[in-house]
Chain A
Amino acid sequence: MKNDIVHEVEQYFTQKRDNDLVKETLEGKEASFAKLVSLYKKRVEAVGMGFFRNKTDTEDFVQDVFLKTYTNISTFRGESLFSTWLTRIAYTTAINIKNRRKEYEPLSDENLIPSQSVTPEEDEMRRITVDAVHEAVKELPERYAICLDLYFFYDIPYEEVAVITGLPVNTIKSHIFRAKKILRSKLKDFT
Chain B
Amino acid sequence: MEQKCEHYMDEFLMLDKGQKLPFDLTLHILFCSKCRSEIRALSKAEEAAGRPLQIPVPVTDDSITLVMKKIDPSYSPRKYQVPLLQWIVAGVVMIIALCSFGFYTSSSSSRALLVAFYLVFAFAVTAYCLVFVGTNLDFFVKKISTTRSRQNCLQS
Q: Which residues of A contact B (CB under 8 A)?
A: 1-2, 4, 7-8, 11, 30-31, 33-35, 37-39, 41-43, 46, 59, 62-63, 66-67, 70, 113-118, 121-123, 125-126, 128-130, 133, 151-159, 173, 177, 180-181, 183-184, 187, 190-191
Contact = CB atoms under 8 A, between A and B. Distances in A.
B49 interface: yes
Given A41-B63, A42-B53, A183-B42, A34 B77 contact: yes
A50 to B, nearest CB: 12
A-B pairs, top 3 by smallest CB distance, nearest first, are A155-B50, A7-B18, A129-B49
Q: Taking chain B's interface residues, is the majority helix, strand, or loop, or is none over half, making it mixed?
A: helix
A37 B64 CA distance: 7
Q: How large is the interface on B (under 10, 10 to 19, 20 to 34, 35 or more residues)?
A: 35 or more
A188 to B, nearest CB: 8
A156 B48 CA distance: 14
Given A4-B19, A153-B53, A187-B45, A66 B71 contact: yes
Contact of A1 (B46, B54, B59, B68): B46
Given A4-B18, A4-B20, A118-B51, 9 more contacts: A7-B18, A31-B59, A34-B64, A38-B57, A38-B61, A43-B53, A67-B70, A125-B49, A130-B49
B70 A113 contact: no
A70 B53 contact: no
B143 to A, nearest CB: 23
Nearest to A180: B13
B55 interface: yes
Interface in B9-39: 9, 12-21, 34, 37-39
B64 A38 contact: yes
B106 interface: no
19 contacts: A4-B18, A7-B18, A30-B72, A38-B57, A38-B58, A42-B52, A43-B53, A59-B63, A63-B67, A116-B51, A118-B51, A126-B45, A126-B51, A129-B46, A133-B49, A153-B50, A155-B50, A157-B16, A187-B38
